[in-house]
Amino acid sequence: MQRPIVLLCLPALLFRMAAGQSFALETMDGLRTNKVAAEAAVHKGKKGIRVTEAAGVNNASEDRMLLLPVKDFENGTIEAEIGGEPGPGAAQGARGFVGIAFRVGDNATKFDAFYLRPTNGRADDQVRRNHSVQYVSHPDWPWMRLRKEEPEKYESYVDLLPGEWTRVRVEVDGAKARLFVHENAQPTLIVNDLKQGAWKGQVGLWIGPGTIGHFRNVKVTKK
């Protein structure tokens, strides 16, 4: 009598696991800030969360992020709508840096991330366009070290506009990860050697210095 019940329940359990966790991000419920200020906001007619740099944060800090209530992400997919643009008074080099951090450590200083540089997407300088998206691994592999030691390997081009909602998908599998932008079938950036290997951590919504970031409709599916 018990065996048929187990067989009937298993597909439903597998469906729930595959469905993942979805976060509409219309309120701050369950979210935790790390060196950022965040609030619910409407951006270009869509509800989401507005994220900016917290007051007094060192410009050299790279761990500015809003943390989701996801504690043990190792492999799987992270999907989101994100947008970034330089804020008022931002430095000349500000690009509206905005992205997704994964396998984030407890204190948020250790993580891997893919991020966009929206103002580079349609720049007149082709070299700058080639730096539209970036992979980083903190604390040991910031963008400047990666560009210096292995130029072009961890950056790529994609068409972007500052402040526009942009769909992104991050696929993580062991020491490999791929970034998809605009629902394109092919990845924009492929990384086959994640610098910190495979381990479990949190998921963060990341911004760089001088950025006004917007995030909505995040879905995390663990593999």
Task: Please report, for the chain, the start and end positions of each structural domain, with discontinuous segments joined by +.
Answer: 21-222
- Asked if pLDDT for residue 8 goes beyond 80, the answer is no
Q: What pLDDT sits at residue 10? A: 38
Q: CA-CA distance, 74 to 92, in Å (whole number)?
A: 36
What is the number of alpha carbons within 13 Å of residue 186 lying toward its C-beta? 4
d(CA 138, CA 45): 34
Single out the residue of 81, 63, 59 nearest to residue 163, CA to CA.
81
- Give the residue-averaged pLDDT of 15-26: 75
Task: Tell me the pLDDT band of 212, cut-offs 50, 70 and 90.
Answer: very high
pLDDT at 105: 96
The first and second tokens of residue 76, run together, are 């799987």
Query: Which string of DSSP letters, residue by residue, matches the chain?
Result: -HHHHHHHHHHHHHHHHHH-EEE--SS-TT-EEESEEEEEEEETTEEEEEEEEPTT--TT----EEE-S---B-SEEEEEEEEEEEPTT--TT----EEEEEEE-TTSSSEEEEEE-GGGTT-S-HHHHTTSEEEEEETTB-HHHHHHHSTTTTEE-----TT--EEEEEEEETTEEEEEETT-SS-SEEESS-TT-S--BEEEEEE-TTEEEEEEEEEEEE-
Which is nearest to 112 in space by CA: 13, 11, 203? 203
The pTM for the full model equals 0.91
Of residues 208 and 17, more confidence is placed in 208
CATH assignment of 21-222? Answer: 2.60.120.560
Digit-coded pLDDT (tens) for 30-48: 999 999 999 999 999 999 9
Q: Is the pLDDT confidence value at 11 over 90?
A: no
Average pLDDT, the chain: 92
What pLDDT shows up at residue 171?
98
| CB 122 within 8 Å of CB 159 | yes
**β-pairing, 211-222 with 46-53?**
antiparallel
pLDDT value, residue 19: 62
pLDDT the model gives residue 183:
95
Q: Are 205 and 36 in contact (CB under 8 A)?
A: no
